[in-house]
């Protein structure tokens, strides 16, 4: 969370004082207004505000008709929710390498495509844009869908296009740790009418037909789903956060590039598929060896600068995806995709060392979290400490 204050407090008060803050209402219509504002910002045709990024990825998978008998390729470096969304619809996540930018590797993805592959999920981790040209070209060649996990890259771009609005569908997250936040929240965006209609039904199956006119113009038949609906309180907060997004991103870019300019010639900044489109939340430095990376992090910590090594980030690394690696996709065995007859023979021979390149990059990379509100003095102090450690 970067910036939140009186504007959000006043927005919440506005929603509460209306005494009409269920999602479908005749007062503020905060959720509906945010959906319209967010899709306008992204230049996307459809948007559904919901409870989380996981909810949005799952709704996208459902919208594409993906389920038992299908494979979906995900990178070995992403939060476990990306893979769990795949198992939640009965499909099998196939784990692929990341490239030197720490995003889904096109070459390894191509090797993992099979007759059962229905989609790939590029993850713009830490706001780093994936190679969307290469991945979309690969997907088109094989007739499979692209679902962007843009949960950590809200507001980012790839060659002038907003992350999350490039593939067949995209998911954003608005939880506490994201660029803009309501504490929790997410959004599904798409230009595909069928994905939108199915996502709408699935994300609120118990109420979408009961409240308001949400099914006007919907041609998809109703089916059983879940309940990822949010209230107008979330919508009200998000509308204020969206107003702050351009300033947050602009200041993050200013701080990150100024910091890079202050680094000595021993600093090696990890490459990017679009450095200008990067959200600039994270400075990633690359080292020749994991030992050098650890030494650097320790020296910085001694002088009060916290450095994160992504190999240590738990559920973001496939080796720590306990439910996936141990093939327990659901509590009840009949609902577990790893035990479904339809999934027999699919690519689920997971091993701890199956993505060696990913593990190597993660062990040799050091992260510094960039703050938009650093003073020049603070940023220069951090640069001095980094240079000394290098």
* Active site positions, annotated: 178
Nearest-5° Cα angle at 341, 339 to 343? 75
Rounded CA separation 206/218 (Å): 16
C-alpha pair distances (Å), 135 with each of 83, 105, 367:
18, 8, 25
What one-character-per-residue DSSP string does 70-95 give?
Answer: -EEEEESBS-THHHHHHHHTT-EEEE
Q: Which residues sit opposite 196 in a β-bridge?
A: none
Which residues, in sequence order, are CB contacts of 352 under 8 Å at separation 6+? 319, 325
Q: Would you call 148 helix, strand, or coil by DSSP?
A: strand
Question: Terminus-to-terminus CA distance in the chain, angstroms?
Answer: 29
Which residues, in sequence order, are CB contacts of 51 under 8 Å at separation 6+? 184, 185, 186, 228, 229, 230
Rounded CA separation 34/11 (Å): 12
């Amino acid at each position: 969370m970067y910036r939140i204050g009186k504007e959000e407090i006043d927005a919440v008060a506005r929603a509460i004082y209306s005494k009409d803050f269920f999602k479908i209402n005749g007062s503020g219509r905060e959720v509906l207004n945010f959906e319209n504002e967010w899709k306008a910002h992204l230049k996307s045709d459809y948007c559904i505000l919901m409870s989380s990024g996981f909810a949005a990825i799952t709704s996208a998978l459902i919208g594409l008709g993906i389920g038992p008998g299908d494979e979906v390729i995900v990178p070995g470096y992403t939060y476990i929710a990306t893979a769990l969304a795949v198992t939640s619809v009965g499909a099998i996540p196939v784990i692929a390498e990341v490239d030197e930018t720490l995003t889904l590797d096109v070459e390894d993805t191509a090797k993992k495509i099979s007759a059962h592959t229905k989609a790939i999920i590029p993850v713009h981790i830490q706001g780093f844009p994936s190679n969307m040209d290469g991945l979309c070209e690969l997907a088109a060649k094989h007739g499979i869908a692209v679902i962007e996990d843009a949960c950590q890259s809200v507001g980012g771009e790839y060659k002038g296009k907003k992350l999350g609005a490039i593939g067949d569908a995209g998911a954003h997250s608005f939880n506490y740790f994201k660029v803009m936040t309501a504490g929790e929240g997410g959004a599904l965006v798409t230009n595909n009418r069928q994905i939108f209609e199915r996502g709408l039904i699935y994300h609120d199956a118990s109420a979408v037909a009961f409240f308001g006119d949400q099914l006007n113009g919907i041609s998809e038949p109703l089916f059983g789903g879940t309940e990822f609906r949010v209230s107008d309180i979330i919508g009200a907060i998000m509308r204020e956060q969206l107003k702050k997004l351009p300033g947050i991103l602009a200041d993050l870019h200013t701080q990150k590039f100024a910091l890079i300019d202050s680094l000595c010639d021993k600093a090696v900044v990890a490459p990017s598929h679009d450095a200008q489109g990067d959200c600039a939340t994270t400075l990633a430095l690359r080292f020749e060896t994991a030992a050098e990376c650890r030494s650097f992090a320790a020296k910085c910590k001694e002088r009060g600068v916290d450095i994160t090594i992504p190999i240590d980030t738990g559920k973001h690394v496939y080796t720590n995806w306990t439910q996936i690696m141990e093939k327990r996709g659901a509590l009840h065995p009949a609902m577990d995709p790893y035990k479904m007859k339809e999934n027999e023979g699919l690519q689920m021979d997971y091993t701890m060392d199956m993505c060696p390149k990913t593990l190597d990059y993660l062990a040799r990379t050091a992260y510094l979290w960039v703050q938009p509100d650093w003073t020049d003095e603070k940023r220069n102090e951090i640069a001095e400490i980094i240079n000394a450690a290098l």
